[in-house]
Amino acid sequence: FMVDKGNHRHFMEKEIHEQPEVISHTLAHYLDFGAGVSKPLDLPFDFAKLDRLSISACGTAYLSGVIGKYWFERLARLPVDIDIASEFRYREMPIVKNSAAFFVSQSGETADTLASLRYCRKAGVPIGAVVNVRESTIARESDVILPTLAGPEIGVASTKAFTCQLSVLASLAVRAGVARGTISPEREKVLVRELSEAPRYANQVLKLDQQIEKLARELSSYKHVLYLGRDTNYPLAMEGALKLKEISYIHAEGYAAGELKHGPIALIDENMPVIVIAPHDRIFEKTVSNMQEVAARGGKVILITDKKGAEQASLQTMETIVLPDMPEIITPIVYALPIQMLAYYTAVFMGTDVDQPRNLAKSVTVE
Ligand code: G6P
């Protein structure tokens, strides 16, 4: 069937704006908002008996898996291996007894992800597929399909599929925590309610479009951009950099903020803006000190934070994008939006083919 752009200039813009709705659909598939519980799943393994979970994927799907690792480990005390599928398939990883493997893929057809799945299949590991296309090869070859309900994604740069992958992984981490006894029924209720609020916050963030568009105009005159974040904002920093380079062709790197002094600090000058993703969380102060290191060297900071963070950062920034204060568990989902919007508007100013960037394919079905 045909999908059209509606009132939007590009599919990517349309898909960014669909996020409140598709995140909500996806969460509702896994969580019972009314009862405040995660829904039971028919899994080929028992979360309670797992010693290790392995996640493999490529591109943006891989970065959702990195965020998933933080959630599974923190909420369910379940150790997670996260791999880029093209590495996983050849690195001859020993298979841990009592393990399961998840493969994350929008298309369900990525060659390296499929090869990694087959490696695990051969080793007898139970397999879950977090996929957007249910009729795909990866879905077909898995033991359980854990669908993202993003609807068809046309823009080559993944947006809504990413936030739906995060929605699935967060819900599964809650489910795993309940099964493993690390999340009490009271805590489950709170987490389910917090997750249910993600679409509402995502909607509010979409309204920052004018500020982000203005910032993008400025950003489009630079040749290099550095993204920094800690904890789940670190993979988000990598996703921000990936989005920007994919569609605007501006060189960008995402780094763990704590690694700044181990390399990228040598690059800091007024010609490389540093985008810091830092909601006010348990390690906010650490990120603030990284920003001060940048500012002290003449670097320009673009801070993406919340109200509390903006009040406490006390720092001269090139721009501060202020999101509402929100529960920690949903920050990766909601903060993905300003990052996507910034890449999108920058690419529009650069005049690139936003939906079909040069040299890239929506689905990489060859090695
Ligand atoms: C390509 C796409 C990316 C996507 C990656 C993985 O590189 O351009 O947007 O994240 O493949 O694709 P998958 O379909 O497996 O999620």
Query: Cβ < 6 Å from ligand 1: which residues?
Result: 58-61, 105-107, 110, 113, 156-158, 360, 362-364
Give phi and psi for 127, each to the nearest 5.
-125, 130
314 or 162: which carries more pLDDT confidence?
Answer: 162
Q: Choose one of 84, 102, 132, 362 to mutate for the ligand 1 pocket test, by most ligand atoms within 8 angstroms of C-beta.
A: 362
How far apart are the CA of 9 and the centre of ligand 1, in A?
Answer: 22
Whole-angstrom distance, CA of residue 4 vs CA of residue 1:
10
Closest ligand 1 atom, residue 246 Cα? 8
Phi first, then psi, for residue 250 (nearest 5°) are: -85, 135
With cut-offs at 50, 70 and 90, classify the pLDDT of residue 93.
confident
- The pLDDT tens digits of the residues spanning 224-243 come to 999 999 999 999 999 999 99
How confident is the model at residue 3, as a pLDDT?
84
- DSSP secondary structure letter of residue 352: -
Phi-psi region of 359 (alpha: psi -120 to 50; beta: other; left: phi over 0): left
Average pLDDT, the chain: 96
Question: In this predicted structure, what is the pLDDT of residue 366?
Answer: 85
Work out which ligand 1 atom sits closest to the CA atom of 107. Answer: 14
Residue-level pLDDT at 316: 87
Give the whole-angstrom CA distance, residue 23 versus residue 199: 6
Whose CA is closest to atom 15 on ligand 1? 105
Counting residues of the chain whose pLDDT is more than 90, the rounded percentage is 93
Among all residues, which ones are annotated catalytic? 362
Which pLDDT belongs to residue 1? 59
Percent of the chain residues topping a pLDDT of 70: 100
* Atom in ligand 1 nearest the alpha carbon of residue 158: 9
Interface pTM, i.e. ipTM = 0.97
Alpha carbon of 161 to ligand 1 centroid (Å): 10
Atom of ligand 1 nearest to the CA of 113: 15
Q: Does residue 41 register a pLDDT over 70?
A: yes
Sequence-distant (6+) residues with CB within 8 A of 334 are 198, 201, 202, 205, 323, 326
d(CA 268, CA 92): 38
Average pLDDT for 145-162: 96
Question: In the chain, where does DSSP find H-type helix?
Answer: 11-17, 19-30, 59-76, 85-88, 111-122, 137-140, 160-179, 185-196, 198-206, 209-219, 233-248, 284-296, 307-313, 331-350
- String of b and e for 305-317 (b: at least 16 CB within 10 Å)? bbeebbeebeeeb
75-102 average pLDDT score: 95
pLDDT digit string, tens, across residues 186-195: 999 999 999 9
| Tally: H helices and E strands in the chain | 14, 12
Residue 247 pLDDT greater than 90, yes or no: yes
> Among candidates 135, 212, 112, 150, which has minimal Cα distance to 24?
150
58 CA to centre of ligand 1 in angstroms: 6
Q: Rounded to the nearest whole angstrom, what is the distance from the C-alpha of residue 360 to the centroid of ligand 1?
A: 9
pLDDT, tens only, 250-267: 999 999 999 999 999 999
Out of 58, 63, 103, give the residue to mutate to test ligand 1, the one with the largest number of ligand atoms within 8 Å of its CB.
58
